[in-house]
Structure formats: structure tokens, C-alpha cells
Amino acid sequence: MFQAAAKTLSVFSVYRGVLFSLRHYCKNIPIKLRVSEALSGAELGANVKVQGWVRSVRPQKKNLFLHVNDGSSLQSLQVVGRAELDDPLLTFGSAVEVSGVLKKSTHQKQPFELEADQIRVVGTCNPIDFPFKIKERHSLEYIRQFPHLRCRTNVFGSLLRVRSEATAAIHSYFKNNGFVQIHTPIITSNDCEGAGEIFSVQSSGPQDVDDGNFFSVPTFLTVSGQLHLEVVSGAFSRVYTFGQSFRADNSQTRRHLAEFFMVEAEISFTQSLEDLIKVIEDMFRSATEHVLAHSAEDVDLFHQRVTPGHRATVDAMLKKSIPVITYTEAIDILKRSSENFDFPTDWGCDLKTEHEKYVVKHCGNLPVFVTDYPYDLKPFYARDNQEHSERTVAAVDLLVPGVGELCGGSLREERLDLLRARLEDAGLADTYSWYLDLRRFGSVPHGGFGLGFDRYLQCILGVDNIKDVIPFPRFVQSCLL
């Protein structure tokens, strides 16, 4: 029995010995950190490993200085190493893996630095051929020429981090306010807007599919998820979607894309435009405050270097409630102006970008809601304002500085007889028979809106061209990558 106990103890001791040696070994394995973690002082004094791309190289007689960035932060991490760690392949733009001890820095601008004992070049980069130069500040127009490389610049890296944070902020707003996210389809048989600027979907697959018509009916890339949200709003009182939309718009303007991102919401049991306006304004304010708080450094890069002075506009937008005017009042503002507009400003005319920007300027260069548009300007689903002397619908647009229309919405026509009559007038009664069913079975007053996410980023950052706020812009005669 004693021998058995001794044997057990011996095995346990060996096991403990192995355990201790494993622990000791683990202490020597570098802890992998992101640059943002290293800059915050995580694992200070420990043996760490950082992987990223070289933003600057400065060899000296006794030391080597690098700045390394991995996209997790606008700021790069300073790496200090012995001169013998220098490598001809260690250039601006090269990918590296650096191991060493994270220490406090003597420089005030960077509290921590990595004292390297090993630098390995993972991917080389010829700085002569690389289109971005180490000491040059490239314009947004210049880096737009290189959609496959522009994410490596500071300005576009900041844009992508802001875009990610804004996406999270919008999802957070809807979640906190009881909305259910719905994944609406990209391929659809409905032309929601009725404008005809749609991409047709054709099959190049099975030969037994007649005329490439894979779905047996004409199908398109979606221009909006609204109609699908309306379907779900018959069972859920608050729903939203956030995804891609497509429009075959033959336009080269600074605010149009063929593929863009939309935030859309639908709210049941509402008979008031004020309800929609409140949600739109709350979402805009909540998302913007979140982005300013959580992406301050990246936003500041735009407000200080790209669009100087725009921060004052953003702050002003958040200080006051957004005013509301009617379409008729907007037309009066345009008619009283001394501007020579390119497009007519008669009542019943659609508001063009030049009109929208002037109305915003007239209202103090601040956002403004415009409501009650003419009946003929809005799609079939907009609710008829029968009580108005002029035939209008309960629709609303949010106009913002620098962009014009950012968001559009309306109450939906829930009255079956009026909706049927409008669809029949448009020759769409058969196509949208299912839409009439929504009004026949448990219909309720409801409304919704769509916000252009890319235009939202233009608004808060002050970026003039929408092609500079989306990773891979698609527009007429341009689909790179």
C-alpha cells in the first residue's frame, strides 16, 4: 500500500513537473496584441508580438525606429530595435511581425513603445512602385484611383473604422428601441419605387430555363426593402433592415451610386408623420453622438485635414431640434429667393439637389424636414392627405447640409379602396394583388422611412463625393474589382 502511494506521488510529481515546465514555457511565448491594445498599455512589461504594416522606417547608427499599424487604430505603434535588426526588405508598406517587450516610452505623444528583439518581414513592398508615398498627403480623388490599395492610407482607414462604428451605432439604436431586424432579399420581383431605374437579373446557368428566366417571372436587384418590411409589419410592430440597394441611375453626380446601403424601418399602429419624424431624428442624433464619442480620433482626421470647419456644422446639427416645414413652404422659400435655379420651382415640381441645398441654407445651414409633397411626386403607397385643399400625401424628406436629401419616408396608404384605385390607375393592380391582401387581412395604419447610409457618412464627415465613403463604389461605367 505504501509502495502504491509512493508510486502515485511519483506520478503526480512528474505530472506537476510537466505542468510547471509548460507554464514556464508559456511565459516565453509572445502574447499577440493588436496595435490599439499595445497603445493602451495592455500587457505592459510582457513579451508581446505585433503584426501589421510599416508606416515609417528610420534607421540610425545604433538603433532602428519603425511605426507599425494594423488597422485597429489611427495611431501607429513605435517599434525600437537594435541597428542590426534592419533589413533591406524593411520598407514603407511592407508587412512585418515584431516580437519584443512592451515598455513605457520617453516621448509624450506616445506613452508606450515596443522594444523589439525580433523583426520578421512577412510581405515585401517596393516603395518606388507603391502609389502612396511616405511623406505625402494624398487627396481623396487621388487615392480613389486605387480601390484595391486605398484602405492602406490613413484617411481611408479612418473612414472604414467610422463606417463600422456608425453601422454598430444604428443597429444598437434599433435594438434598444424594440425593432426587429429583417433580412430582406436582394433579388426581387417588385420595383418598389416604380421609377424603372432597376437592374434586371438574368440566369446564365441551366439551359432548360426558358430565356434565362430562372425564376419564371422577371426579377431585379432591389431598390428598397420597404415592401418586404411592410409584409413583416403585419405581424411585428417595429421592424428594420440594413443592406444593399441598387439603382441603374445613369448619373455621375457626387451623391449617386449604382450600389449603396440603406437603413429602412417600418412602424405599425401609427397615423402621424410626427411619429416617423421623431424616430428619424432620434436615430440620426443617437448614431451621430455615438460615432463622435467612439471614433473621435478618426472623425477629427476628417474635420481637421479633409473638411476643416465641418465639426462646427455637425455640433450645430446636434444642438437643436430639427425644424419641420411643408413642401408648399419650401416652394415659397425658393420663389422668394434671388437665385437663378436651373430647374423650375413651381408648385408640383420635384425638388432637385440645388433646391434642397438652398432650403437647407435658408434654414441656417441646418437639417430640415419637408412634409406633405404633391400626390403625383410620390409612389403609389404614400397616404393621400384627403383633408388638404391641394392634393398631397403624408410624406417626409430629411434635408441636410452638403448633401440634400438624406432620408425619405411616408405614412402608407392603409385604406383598401384608395390603394386599389391608385394601383388601377397605374396599371399595377394585378402585379401588386399581394400588396392589396396586406390591407384585406388585419391591416393597420403604418409608415416607414429609408436613410441613405453612405450619404449619412458624407453628412457627418463633410465628404463631398459619395464615392469616397464606400469601400468599393459602383457607378455608371465603373465597376472596379
C-alpha to C-alpha distance for 17 and 36, rounded to whole angstroms: 37
Note whether 403 and 256 are within 8 A (CB). no
Predicted local distance difference test score (pLDDT) of residue 212:
61
Ranges under pLDDT 50 in the chain: 1-2, 4, 6-17, 19-25
Which tens digits make up the pLDDT trace of 85-111?
A: 999 999 999 999 999 999 999 887 789
* pLDDT value, residue 12: 43
How far is Cα 299 from Cα 306, in angstroms, rounded to an integer? 10
Model pLDDT, residue 386:
86
**446-452 and 324-326: which strand pairing?**
unpaired
User: Regarding the domain delimited by 150-468, which CATH topology (the fold level of the hierarchy) does it fall under?
Assistant: BirA Bifunctional Protein; domain 2 (3.30.930)
Q: Name residue 133's amino acid.
A: K
Ramachandran bin of 125, using left for φ above 0, alpha for ψ from -120 to 50, beta for the remaining angles: beta
Question: What is the predicted pLDDT for the residue at 206?
Answer: 60
CATH class of 31-130: mainly beta
Taking the model in full, what pTM does it have?
0.90
Cα distance between residue 213 and residue 219, in whole Å:
8
- Cα–Cα dist 117/439, whole Å: 71
Q: What is the pLDDT of residue 13?
A: 44
Give domain limits for the chain. Answer: 31-130, 150-468
Amino acid of residue 275 = D
CA atoms of 308 and 321, how far apart (whole Å): 25
pLDDT confidence of residue 9: 42
What would you report as the CA-atom Rg of the chain, rounded to the nearest whole angstrom? 29
Helix axes 273-294, 310-319, angle to 10 degrees: 140
